[in-house]
Amino acid sequence: MKTVLLTDDNEDIIELVELIISKFGCKLAKAKNGEVAVQYCQESPPDLVIMDLNMPDMDGFTAIESIRIN
């Protein structure tokens, strides 16, 4: 089963994407901010990352850059 990591701080977006992803038979992992997403990717890399760019703590641009480096 493929894993999709969704990183977003908006609960409505999370629910919507979860509904869509479930129709494709994928496992959805969720992160509330970029720091959590980076940690998740280091521990168990997902097949796909969907990232909000405007989040508190660590924005999506910084998180993606960090994920690519590691």
- CATH class for the region spanning 3-69: alpha beta
| Domain range list for the chain | 3-69
pLDDT (0 to 100) of residue 57: 87
The contacts of residue 28 (CB under 8 Å, 6+ apart) are 3, 4, 6, 17, 18, 21, 22
The tens-digit pLDDT sequence of the chain (70 residues) is 999 999 999 999 999 999 999 999 999 999 999 999 999 999 999 999 999 999 988 999 999 999 999 8
pLDDT (0 to 100) of residue 53: 95
The distance of Cα 46 from the centroid of its chain, to the nearest Å, equals 9
